[in-house]
Amino acid sequence: MARALRFRFFRDERLKYLAHLDVLRLFERALKRSGLPVAYTQGFNPRQKIVFGLPMAVGLTSSAEYADIEFAGDLAPEAFISRLNQVLPDGIKVLDAMPLLKKGSIMSQITSAKYEIEFAVPRHMDYDEINGIVIDFLGNEDITVMKKGKKGSKPVNIRPLIYSLSVRKPDNDGYILDAFLSAGAKNNLRPDLLMKALNLITGLDLAVGSIHRKAMYTSAFNEWKDPFEVANDD
């Protein structure tokens, strides 16, 4: 039992075109329908006390979205999962939850994310050729692209924001790029910008089929940990 929980949920193909604000409204409506004792902020426009770890871009799916939520009374994680999943629409589901005993914002804790990026090549290229191109791409010390920010676009070297890239060949005709990237409130690298940079630097025209967020991590004592592992750290 706890007055605050950290939970993980997935979003699949059916809801991948929802914008982040739409996801917020979806959870707000579902929480009201569930009858769960959600806590609200004070003031003229009270809002439910729920904070999401890292807003997801439109068009992505994910199996590792995290959020923190506060309640007006104690609640068991199992009760929260069961009651909320009963009213959530198809395409989104809470997977697990744990008590959150210490104050802290998950939004400030997220520092990296892993993605699966399915892509197709414009001509016949075997695995070794594609893999070599990705290795050469990572060999650049400077990968500068125009990155949008609150004050407009500016050139940014994204190479320090790429932790690892690897290519694999599934059974179908395309390829999958496993990308481990910097993420969070600071130094966030979106996977679509990564693919734009890859095309720009290599001169290829790789067509992205889908992007799936596999995991999110925090950095604690030089280790990557998932948000549950650090939920109640000092």
**DSSP run (H or E) holding 108:** helix 106-109
Report the C-alpha gap between 136 and 139 in whole angstroms.
5
Contact 191, 115 (CB under 8 A): yes
Q: How many CB atoms lie within 10 A of CB 216?
A: 24
DSSP letter (8 states) at residue 20 = H
Residue-range domains of the chain with CATH: 2-101 (3.30.70.580), 111-225 (3.30.70.3190)
Strand partners, 211: 60, 117
pTM of the full structure: 0.92
Q: List the Cα angle 111/117/123 in 5-degree steps.
A: 145
pLDDT in tens for each of the 234 residues of the chain?
889 999 999 999 999 999 999 999 999 999 999 999 999 999 888 999 999 999 888 999 999 999 999 999 999 999 999 999 999 999 999 999 999 988 778 988 999 999 999 999 887 788 899 999 999 999 999 999 988 877 788 899 999 999 999 999 887 778 999 999 999 988 899 999 999 999 999 998 899 999 999 999 998 778 999 999 988 876
